[in-house]
Chain A
């Protein structure tokens, strides 16, 4: 049985050999610069490795330590989960809704709105402007307004107060989140066959919401899948925003994320094995989430 299978595969391989030619240049580079580094990192996660000396085999030590002896890591997981559960779905839906609304406009307005929504995501370090907006003295923009309206009596230290830190980081991330998925959705909406809408109107589609659910979304499922992967990878790998705004380490580790923890061990303490173990766990977390979301997305338009 196996032999038959193999000869069939071999036949297909010969028949489709042009496919290998097309994929070869990419594949070679991908193997060397993505697959290989990831495999090496996973190997490091089972070792003690301080970057200067050769790695020492450690078995599951790093993983055991993470769960049993590292309270900060548990905090980091908790914060990252809260962060991901909020920003992931919200930014995904915002990207979709904005892209869909913008798609209804005429061309000039469409271009203008796309630019306005997209620019924050490419502004690089420009989000540090929020540290001025949420400044902790009475001259900060938000504190000033709240004081003037008598909502608060003394200025709030937004980035030191554990009640607000994570929320503000979430707001800032959402501000910059109309990025890759947003563009993919805009391009995806453009690719929907117009005649489907005419057919839908004949079949009695009444509102734009029906049209969205039964025609538009099923037609752009590939882009929806892509957007989901982007949303997962960006919402779980939050770190830079929190570190810039709340400082590193943040008060009571209230804005400490998995990536912040990873960078701490990888680039400050040079415990690369430990950092790699964190990365591997984050990787598993994202894969699991992606599986879950794929199941949900399969039901779109049903």
Chain B
């Protein structure tokens, strides 16, 4: 028992009681179970043959799993007018460009606001935090007008450029950069490091968990972007739009619809798993000390 616990909870410290450790583990397992049931239901629906999808009373777990729904999905996809790979390419381009730009612009600005502290930095930061609280439903129309004036309607730019400035990302990174001790940066400056040098070799490595988290969030939102306000040419439409067209095919496509949610979910989840294991990885080594 003791040994098993040590394996599960490696950071043994004076403040930890065995009872508490056991309680925490059981609690986590229980909560994880509760949270995951609906997801199991979805995945299992995507594996159900037609007769099971409309079974009453509904069963959570699939009885005779089949990959037919995914097969149907790919048949539907290959019949589409624009080659399906085009939709995928559109979404991949937008996601990659948006995420990379978001992290670079956001971390640079967060560094300047947090550590260079130019006059006006404090005010700018307040505005950024406030902007997180304004409903995006009503800003959609002004944003459309602005993008139309620039002449970006029906181009990738309309989707990529506005997503480069995420208040959320910059706020998160700024909060982490705040925790880096000033003395460290002072020392670097005395050694002759420029601001660019400090940004690249001190700030970015120290806040790796922060920008990995921003990457996760950014991929997740860009992957699901429909852009239906701005994009009208079929060959520029994104993956979620194409997927929605399949789902709206009605009840005969209920299975394919379940397969769609599983496919759309897979990329954010996989990117999350990779990035998250990195978040955990880096920390053991970095630890910010005075």
- Residues on A close to B: CB < 8 A? 9, 12-13, 16-23, 25-27, 29-30, 32-38, 40-41, 44, 51, 98, 101-102, 104-107, 109-111, 113-120, 122-127, 129-130, 132-133, 139, 141, 144, 175, 178, 180, 183-184, 186-188, 190-191, 193-195, 197, 200-201, 205-208, 210-211, 222-223, 225-226, 229-230, 232-233, 236-237, 259, 262-263, 266-267, 272, 275-276, 278-279, 282-283, 286-287, 290
Bound Cα distance from A114 to B28, whole angstroms? 10
Q: Which residues of B contact A109 (CB under 8 A)?
A: 8
Say yes or no: A117 contacts B143, CB within 8 Å: no
Bound Cα distance from A273 to B170, whole angstroms? 30
Say yes or no: A279 contacts B273, CB within 8 Å: no
- Known A-B contacts A33-B161, A175-B35, A222-B179; A9 and B119 likewise in contact (beta carbons under 8 Å): yes
**Assuming A16-B118, A19-B112, A29-B161, what are 15 further A-B pairs, CB within 8 angstroms?**
A23-B109, A23-B112, A33-B143, A122-B220, A123-B42, A187-B209, A187-B210, A190-B283, A191-B176, A195-B287, A195-B289, A222-B176, A222-B178, A229-B133, A282-B135
Bound Cα distance from A226 to B110, whole angstroms? 14
Contact of A208 among B20, B38, B58 (CB under 8 A): B20
- Known A-B contacts A22-B108, A101-B27, A139-B56; A233 and B42 likewise in contact (beta carbons under 8 Å): no
* Interface pick from B84-92, B120-128, B231-239: B120-128
Give the nearest-CB partner of B38 in chain A.
Answer: A129
**How close is B133's CB to chain A, nearest CB, in angstroms?**
4
Q: Which residues of A contact B51 (CB under 8 A)?
A: none
Please report whether the interface of chain A is mostly helix, strand, loop or mixed according to DSSP: helix
Q: Is B264 an interface residue when CB atoms closer than 8 A count as contact?
A: yes
Say yes or no: B265 contacts A126, CB within 8 Å: yes
Q: Is B137 an interface residue when CB atoms closer than 8 A count as contact?
A: yes
Q: Is B142 an interface residue when CB atoms closer than 8 A count as contact?
A: yes
Say yes or no: A118 contacts B141, CB within 8 Å: no
Say yes or no: B279 contacts A38, CB within 8 Å: no
Q: Is B67 an interface residue when CB atoms closer than 8 A count as contact?
A: no
Q: Which residues of B contact A101 (CB under 8 A)?
A: 24, 27-28
Q: Is B50 an interface residue when CB atoms closer than 8 A count as contact?
A: no
Give the nearest-CB partner of A45 in chain B.
Answer: B138
- Known A-B contacts A16-B119, A22-B116, A105-B8; A126 and B133 likewise in contact (beta carbons under 8 Å): no
- Known A-B contacts A22-B111, A211-B15; A232 and B137 likewise in contact (beta carbons under 8 Å): no
Say yes or no: A194 contacts B133, CB within 8 Å: no
Q: Is B172 an interface residue when CB atoms closer than 8 A count as contact?
A: yes
Say yes or no: B118 contacts A126, CB within 8 Å: no
Q: Is B82 an interface residue when CB atoms closer than 8 A count as contact?
A: no
Say yes or no: B146 contacts A33, CB within 8 Å: yes
Say yes or no: A16 contacts B117, CB within 8 Å: yes
Q: Is B230 an interface residue when CB atoms closer than 8 A count as contact?
A: no
- 0 or 1 for each of B146-164: is its CB under 8 Å from A? (1 = yes): 1000000000000001101
**How close is A183's CB to chain B, nearest CB, in angstroms?**
5
Listed A/B pairs (21) with beta-carbon separation below 8 Å: A18-B112, A19-B112, A26-B164, A33-B161, A35-B131, A37-B142, A101-B27, A101-B28, A105-B9, A114-B276, A115-B276, A122-B220, A126-B42, A190-B209, A190-B283, A193-B287, A208-B17, A226-B171, A226-B175, A229-B129, A232-B133
Most chain A beta carbons < 10 A, residue from B28, B111, B199, B288 = B28
Give the nearest-CB partner of A239 in chain B.
Answer: B137
9 A-B pairs with least C-beta separation? A19-B118, A19-B116, A222-B175, A22-B112, A190-B283, A187-B209, A26-B109, A40-B142, A37-B142
Give the nearest-CB partner of A226 in chain B.
Answer: B175
- 0 or 1 for each of B1-28: is its CB under 8 Å from A? (1 = yes): 0000001111101111100110011011
Say yes or no: B106 contacts A26, CB within 8 Å: yes
Say yes or no: A287 contacts B133, CB within 8 Å: yes
Q: Which residues of A contact B64 (CB under 8 A)?
A: none
Say yes or no: A111 contacts B175, CB within 8 Å: no
Q: Is B187 an interface residue when CB atoms closer than 8 A count as contact?
A: no
Say yes or no: A233 contacts B133, CB within 8 Å: yes
Contact of A26 among B11, B145, B170, B288 (CB under 8 A): B170
Bound Cα distance from A13 to B268, whole angstroms? 42
Q: Which residues of A contact B38 (CB under 8 A)?
A: 120, 126-127, 129-130, 133, 175
Q: Is B39 an interface residue when CB atoms closer than 8 A count as contact?
A: yes
Contact of A259 among B41, B60, B135 (CB under 8 A): B135
Bound Cα distance from A289 to B186, whole angstroms? 37
Say yes or no: A267 contacts B24, CB within 8 Å: no
Q: Which residues of B contact A290 (CB under 8 A)?
A: 129, 133
Q: Is B105 an interface residue when CB atoms closer than 8 A count as contact?
A: yes
Contact of A110 among B56, B161, B280 (CB under 8 A): B280
Say yes or no: A190 contacts B280, CB within 8 Å: yes
Say yes or no: B288 contacts A193, CB within 8 Å: yes
